[in-house]
Amino acid sequence: MIRWSLTKSTPVAETATSWIFRVEQNGRNFAALKILKPETAHEERRGSVLLNWYAGEGAATVFDMHGDTLFMEWLDGGTLGDPVRAGRDDEATIAVCTVVAGLHRPRPDAPEDLQGLRERFTALFETDVRVWPHTARDLYARACGIALKLFDRPTATIPLHGDLHHDNILASDRGWLAIDPKGLVGDPAYELANVFRNPVGAAALIASPRRIAALTDAFEQRLGYNRKRMLGWAAAHAALAACWHLADGNSIATELAVLPLLLSAYDQA
Beta-carbon contacts of 47 under 8 Å, excluding residues fewer than 6 positions away, are 162, 180, 181, 182, 183
* CB 32 within 8 Å of CB 24: no
* CB 124 within 8 Å of CB 238: no
Distance between start and end Cα atoms, the chain = 53
235: amino acid identity, one letter: A
- Catalytic, 82? Answer no
Q: Any idea how long the chain is?
A: 269
Measured at the CA of 180, the angle between CA 17 and CA 230, to 5 degrees, comes to 125
- Closest by CA to 252, choosing from 197, 194, 182, 211, is 197
Could you tell me the CA-to-CA distances from 177 to 11, 153, 190, 259 in Å, in that order? 21, 31, 19, 28
Q: Which residues of 123-132 are buried (b: 16+ CB within 10 A; e: fewer)?
A: ebeebeeeeb
- Closest by CA to 177, choosing from 101, 119, 114, is 101
Could you tell me the CA-to-CA distances from 257 to 139, 170, 228 in Å, in that order? 11, 27, 20
**What's the rounded Cα separation, in Å, for the pair 115 and 106?**
19
Q: Which of 89, 109, 163, 217 is catalytic?
A: 163
Question: Which residues belong to the active site?
Answer: 163
